[in-house]
Homo-oligomer: A and B are copies of this chain.
Amino acid sequence: MSTFGQFLRVTTYGESHCPSVGCIVDNFPPGVPISEEIIQPQVSRRRPGQSSITTPRNEADIVSIQSGVEGGVTLGTPIAMTVKNKDQRPGDYKGDTMKQYPRPSHADFTYLEKYGVRASSGGGRSSARETIGRVAAGALCEHYLKLAHGIEIIAWVSSVGNIHHIPPTTEYPFRTQNPEFLQLLQEVTRETVDKTTVRCPDPEVSAKMEQLITEFRDRQDSIGGTVTCVIRNVPTGLGEPVFSKLEATLAHAMLSIPATKGFEIGSGFEGTEIPGSTHNDMFIRNPITDSETKNGFLKPKLATSTNNSGGIQGGITNGANIFFRVGFKPPATIGLPQETVTFTGETDGVLEAKGRHDPCVVPRAVPIVESMASICIMDALLLQGGRKMATFTPQV
């Protein structure tokens, strides 16, 4: 299925070697000022070739709006966006080898099992280029969320291999109880994140991460990492129990990104080891006293003194910062020789990738995580907006 979302629906298309990749965003609100200049930065942040630790393929990736916008304003009709592919014939593996041998931990084999045919690039839609459509759609949503509700969505690299930014410590074995981590959630900006090549907001940790990636690159190997994302200023009431609880749609969104292996919200797996008496987030009076309404959403009367829940309780936002972490495996394409066998299972062989490849995907994954988060939040916001319009006077 190439569509994500229930009311705000994003449909993507395209693989590595077709004329273009892109998306259609349906049910985007009308009247929103929008232009390609607003979309392009995130698309460019996703692009390869941004630094010595990312693959140097220079893809221009210029986004073009095809419909749904006139006079710089959205019409409420489907917004189609496209990015042209340069017709790069796949040549990452020697000669015809790749046609006969499935690359280890790539999708060549499973795509053939599923579809009975194979794109020249192997698993065409499993290509990282597929994510361009998501990023364009996500940038659109993020723009709206910021404009209409002041919502901020910021992701960063929280680990590369075993180098962790704010790891568990003796004093704070659980990160959600570490004041440094909570402060980061409150203060991190995209500008800070983008100051370093790795996109980790701490320059020192970032330098170590970059060093580690360089080492893996130089030995023709690869390494994974994690991306953490915070969503601030979210109205309460978003998320649709029981099957579209917000953490469920976020998990769905994140695990649909290539190379992801895990997702955790709030206290996450660490939270399974915290006693309930400590884990429970106590309710307090909302210290932000201005009870203003923003586009129909009221500021809540209560807040919580801690945030192990990660801003979501019972699948619904409680107004606190939403934060989650996504794990990415090491890229499968490496220069080291690897033993494999032909698709037919008849002949053994060895594959080794030529050229240079991303030794670590997390720096480029940052805008993809932000984009999928934006789409999730926007969909939940529109659904709850419809409910609010329809709700009768509250009767507690």
Contacts and interface: CB of A to CB of B under 8 A. Distances in A.
A157 to B, nearest CB: 11
A285 B101 CA distance: 12
B104 A280 contact: yes
A175 to B, nearest CB: 12
Interface in A225-246: 225-226, 236-245
Contact of A9 (B3, B296, B344): B3
A3 B26 contact: yes
B255 A243 contact: no
A184 interface: no
A267 B256 contact: no
Contacts of A265: 255, 261-262
A95 interface: no
30 contacts: A1-B26, A2-B26, A11-B26, A13-B67, A18-B68, A22-B80, A27-B387, A31-B115, A31-B394, A73-B395, A75-B117, A76-B115, A77-B115, A102-B283, A104-B282, A106-B313, A107-B313, A107-B314, A109-B302, A112-B396, A224-B274, A249-B252, A256-B315, A262-B265, A272-B329, A274-B330, A295-B389, A301-B343, A382-B387, A383-B386
Interface stretch (A43-51, A187-195, A200-208, A215-223): A215-223
A252 B260 contact: no
Contacts of A113: 236-237, 300, 316, 318-319
B396 A236 contact: no
A264 B261 contact: yes
Question: Which 5 A-B pairs rank lowest in CB-CB distance, beginning with the nearest?
Answer: A107-B314, A386-B386, A31-B392, A385-B389, A222-B276
A312 B114 CA distance: 12
A384 B386 CA distance: 7
Interface residues of A, number: 172
A341 interface: yes
Interface string A141-166: 00010001000000000010110000
Contacts of A271: 224, 261-262, 327, 329-330
Interface string A267-294: 1110111111101111111100000000
A197 interface: no
Given A26-B1, A111-B316, A313-B106, A255 B247 contact: yes
Interface centre among A275, A327, A392, A396 (most CB of B within 10 A): A392
Given A226-B272, A252-B252, A262-B271, 20 more contacts: A1-B244, A7-B7, A14-B66, A18-B66, A18-B70, A19-B67, A29-B390, A31-B393, A104-B283, A113-B319, A114-B237, A114-B387, A216-B276, A223-B276, A224-B273, A255-B265, A261-B264, A272-B328, A302-B345, A382-B389
A295 B70 CA distance: 30
Given A116-B391, A117-B75, A281 B105 contact: yes
A338 interface: yes
A252 B261 contact: no
B334 A283 contact: no
A109 B318 contact: yes
Contact of A341 (B27, B162, B273, B283): B283
A194 to B, nearest CB: 22
Nearest to A313: B110
A392 B114 CA distance: 12
A30 B387 contact: yes
Nearest to A390: B29
Nearest to A305: B339
A12 interface: yes
A267 B329 CA distance: 8
A20 B276 contact: no
Interface in A76-133: 76-80, 82, 101-102, 104-107, 109-120, 123-126, 130
